[in-house]
């Protein structure tokens, strides 16, 4: 499956908190990719035993689907999605 066209796909900001473990970031990115999203920006910070990960994603599939898939990961504690205002405006247009 090809990631979606970056010029037309809506973008989202996704915050994820997950346990530090081997391959944690790879695991997260693998799910993001296979579920049809492209990572435009990524910031990772270590907080105690966890990673706080901030992602800017682009993709035309429903972001709620990605959220529910990420929440299934055993080491993911929390996923929050914010849809930027410009994307919301584009959707409602």
Partner 1 sequence: MNGAQHILDAFHRHNIGTVFGYPGGCIMPLYDALVDDVGVEHVLCRHEQACALAADGYARASGKLGVCIATSGPGATNLITGVANAHRDSIPMLVITGQVASGMIGTDAFQETDVLGMTLGIVKHSYLVDDAEELPAIMEEAMTLAQSGRPGPVWIDIPKDILLTEVATPAPGPSRAESTGTPDLSEALAMLREAKRPLLYSGGGVSLANAEDSFRAFANASALPGVVTLKGIGNAGKHNPNDLGMLGMHGSRAANRAVEECDLLFIVGARLDDRATGKLDGFAPNARTIHIDTDAAEINKLRATNVALRGDLDDILAAFTREMEAQPLAIDEWRAQCQTWRTTGGFQAADNEEPLAPITGPAFIRQLSRITPDNAIIACDVGQHQMWVAQHYHFDHPRHHLTSGGLGTMGYGLPAAIGAQFANRESTVINVTGDGSFMMNAQELATIRRYNLPLKLIIMDNQCLGMVRQQQELFYNNRESQIDLDDNPDFVAMARAFDIPSLHIERTDQIRRGIETILAYDGPMLLHVAISREENVWPIVKPGASNKEMIDEPKRTTTAKKEQVA
Q: Where do contacts with partner 1 occur on this chain (CB under 8 A)?
A: 21-23, 26-27, 30, 34, 62, 64-65, 68-69, 71-75
Identify the three-state secondary structure at position 30: helix
Of the candidates 87, 91, 85, the one whose C-alpha atom is nearest the C-alpha of residue 58 is 87
To partner 1, the closest distance from the beta carbon of 22 in angstroms equals 4
To partner 1, the closest distance from the beta carbon of 70 in angstroms equals 9
- The answer to whether the beta carbons of residues 42 and 10 sit under 8 Å apart is no
Nearest CB to partner 1, comparing residues 65 and 77: 65
DSSP code at position 86: H
- The answer to whether the beta carbons of residues 45 and 52 sit under 8 Å apart is yes
Nearest CB to partner 1, comparing residues 38 and 61: 61
HSE-CB of 40 using CA atoms within 13 angstroms:
15
To partner 1, the closest distance from the beta carbon of 7 in angstroms equals 26
Nearest CB to partner 1, comparing residues 23 and 77: 23
To partner 1, the closest distance from the beta carbon of 19 in angstroms equals 11
């Amino acid at each position: 499956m090809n990631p979606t066209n970056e010029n037309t796909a809506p973008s989202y900001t996704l915050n994820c908190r997950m346990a530090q473990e081997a391959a944690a970031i790879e695991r997260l990115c693998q799910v993001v990719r296979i579920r049809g999203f492209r990572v435009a920006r990524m910031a990772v910070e270590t907080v105690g035993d966890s990673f706080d990960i901030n992602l800017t994603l682009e993709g035309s599939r429903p972001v709620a689907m990605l959220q529910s898939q990420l929440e299934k990961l055993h080491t993911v504690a929390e996923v929050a999605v914010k849809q930027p205002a410009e994307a919301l405006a584009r959707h409602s247009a």
